[in-house]
Structure 1
Amino acid sequence: MASLKDLRARIGSVKSTKKITSAMKMVAAAKLRRAQTRAEAARPYAAAMRRMLAELGAGTRGQSGLPTLLAGTGNDRIHLLIPLTSDRGLAGGFNANINRKTRDLIRQLQAEGKTVRLLPVGRKGHDYLMREFSDLVVDHVHGSGGKEIPFSAAAELGERIAAMAEKGEFDVCTVVYNRFQNVMSQTPTEMQLIPLALPANDAAASADAPVYEFEPGEEELLSSLLPRNLQVQLYATLLESAAGEQGARMTAMDNATRNAGKAIDRLTLTYNRTRQTNITNELIEIISGAQAL
């Protein structure tokens, strides 16, 4: 049985931990409000731009010499995966879910005879992939470190991916990220960035589909808008991931604070029982000594 001194030390240690987790929960809650607002504000713009580019690209279906960002290389042999994780832990299963989904996707592609390359964003994903698939990692990108994500970060990443695509370093590019649902739920999601997903042939040829005339022209518009669309989609996924991280951390720290409170209650009860037992034993010894006299 632990001594009273040991129990007091453990109670003090758990109380200190509870203060830390409670403070981290409040910080995550404050950051979550801003991150959630930005993520939700970016969704309609990213969805509208993706839909517009898909409809615009559908009009060029079957043509030769299309931009790589639209049509890819014509193959699907080399896949570039971009998992988005955080730089810090203490966020429950936020990073583990992305690592697990990336691992499953790698094994699935390899089973199909595909070549996989990895460009992780965030330290947690990079560390995991370097342990499990170090030969597949071509490079890595540092995360935001918990700070607000500027559009310039997505623009820089988009330019890097576009340059790799133009050099033919991959055929298909897919980003894996946590889509923010609510504080309790972040859904691991994969989205293909290159080549651009186009609507089905029957949908594009529907009689009810509107007919557009473009000025200055489809090819010129695509060459201008495709790089921008890539950056916008990356920015939206980065915002979703940032909001999911704060939501997961808030939930994890809330659970940790509750568990610390329960541990304090159990330790306090054990301390009081041990103290009462010691007092009872001392009284028995005193009474026994007095009777012996």
Structure 2
Amino acid sequence: MAALRDIQNKISAVKKTRQITRAMNMVAAAKLRGVQDKTEKFRPYAEKFAEVLGSLAQGINPDSHPLLAVPEAVTKVGLILISSDRGMCGSFNANLIQAGTKFVKEKKEADQEVNLYMVGKKARDYYKNREYPIAEDMPGVMNSVDFDLAVTVARLGLDAFLAGEVDEVYVLYSKFKSMAAQVPTVERLLPIQPEALEGDEGADAGQEYLTEPSAEEILVDLLPRFLNVRVYSALLETSTGENAARMTAMDNATNNCSDMIDNLTMLYNKARQAAITMELVDIIGGVEALKAG
């Protein structure tokens, strides 16, 4: 009977775990709908912003603005690494950490020092425990992603770049491809090199803009905004990927709990049947003993 009670306790515990994972799956699904909608609506804006900026920047001397100036030699770089604040999302954070570690290793092999700017708790905790050079950290901010957060994060890299603390600034985030694919992506933020318009893609491809005031004066205002837009896009992509990964992980955990309950129930039935058989054997044995006596 002790074995039967143990199995019953295990079944009860797994059922409670299944309730938790199912609830977490529903919460992640609700959050995913909201942030995925933001991401999909923001992508066209970010792409058009980059297109306009690329057109304005054509033919302009890079030395005309500090955010465009390419350094003669790169000895220090900054990496803004965006991760989640919470776990239970499969290999989502592990993939980002692995990509960050690879980036740091490659830069060190090129004799370049790396300053880390951590956004999110998970990656911060990993690198902090391993004594990596963390210049700034912002844990506990990924639960609610908005443009104000993007401005604050972009300011970390911008201030370091303008102060000469780093020669280049990169951002590492998780690009949302689908529910099953979130790809760690590294992009250079500073110095800014707007993509030149090439080919004949879209109605506005290769279009020239007439501006008043001059393009140089407009870029003074647009370049910092462009930096904020890129960081906000990275934050949205990472938040979307996090919730998609958590939803998938909790769905798998719920299914695993159901399988465990089925297996434990079968084991319980077998043990119960064996106990009943033993009791019947004892009863029959007693009856035969009485008859023999």
TM, length-normalised to structure 1: 0.91
1:214 Cα offset (Å): 3.2
Report the residue type matching 1:91 in the other structure. Answer: C
1:56 Cα offset (Å): 2.3
Question: Partner residue of 2:119?
Answer: 121
Question: Partner residue of 1:266?
Answer: 263
Q: 8 Å contact 2:80–2:118 — kept in the other structure?
A: yes
Question: Partner residue of 2:238?
Answer: 241
Alpha-carbon distance in structure 2 between the residues aligned to 1:105 and 1:136: 13
Question: Partner residue of 1:161?
Answer: 157
Question: Partner residue of 2:221?
Answer: 224
Pick one of 193, 201, 219 that aligns with 2:189: 193
Question: Partner residue of 1:58?
Answer: 58
Alpha-carbon distance in structure 2 between the residues aligned to 1:2 and 1:105: 55
1:222 Cα offset (Å): 1.4
Alpha-carbon distance in structure 2 between the residues aligned to 1:277 and 1:187: 52
Alpha-carbon distance in structure 1 between the residues aligned to 2:227 and 2:188: 10
Q: CA RMSD in A?
A: 2.1
Report the residue type matching 1:26 in the other structure. Answer: M
1:198 Cα offset (Å): 4.2
Question: Partner residue of 1:137?
Answer: 134
1:127 Cα offset (Å): 0.5
SS at match of 2:143: coil
Query: Counterparts of 1:13-24 in structure 2 under 5 Å?
Result: 13-24=13-24
CA-to-partner distance for each residue in 1:92-130, whole Å, 9 max, x for gaps? 111111001011111111111111110010000101111
Report the residue type matching 2:186 in the other structure. Answer: E
CA-to-partner distance for each residue in 1:173-224, whole Å, 9 max, x for gaps? 1111111112221111111111112447999xxxx95554432122211111
Alpha-carbon distance in structure 1 between the residues aligned to 2:125 and 2:14: 30
Structure 1 residues 46 and 109: alpha-carbon distance in aligned structure 2, compared to 1, 3 A threshold: same
Structure 1 residues 201 and 14: alpha-carbon distance in aligned structure 2, compared to 1, 3 A threshold: closer
Question: Partner residue of 1:46?
Answer: 46
Pick one of 171, 174, 186 that aligns with 2:170: 174
Structure 1 residues 245 and 7: alpha-carbon distance in aligned structure 2, compared to 1, 3 A threshold: same
Question: Partner residue of 1:85?
Answer: 83
1:54 Cα offset (Å): 2.8
Structure 1: gaps spanning 5 or more residues: none
Alpha-carbon distance in structure 1 between the residues aligned to 2:198 and 2:251: 50
Alpha-carbon distance in structure 1 between the residues aligned to 2:58 and 2:73: 19
1:287 Cα offset (Å): 0.6
TM, length-normalised to structure 2: 0.91
1:145 Cα offset (Å): 4.4
Aligned residues: 285
Alpha-carbon distance in structure 2 between the residues aligned to 1:191 and 1:2: 60
Report the residue type matching 1:268 in the other structure. Answer: T
Alpha-carbon distance in structure 1 between the residues aligned to 2:181 and 2:210: 43
Pick one of 95, 103, 120 that aligns with 2:101: 103
1:5 Cα offset (Å): 1.0
Alpha-carbon distance in structure 2 between the residues aligned to 1:254 and 1:120: 29
1:286 Cα offset (Å): 1.1
Question: Partner residue of 1:288?
Answer: 285
1:131 Cα offset (Å): 2.2
Alpha-carbon distance in structure 2 between the residues aligned to 1:241 and 1:267: 38
Question: Partner residue of 2:202?
Answer: none
Question: Partner residue of 1:35?
Answer: 35
SS at match of 2:229: helix
Q: 8 Å contact 1:159–1:227 — kept in the other structure?
A: no
CA-to-partner distance for each residue in 1:48-80, whole Å, 9 max, x for gaps? 21232233223214x53x322222444322111
Greater Cα shift, 176-185 or 273-282 = 176-185
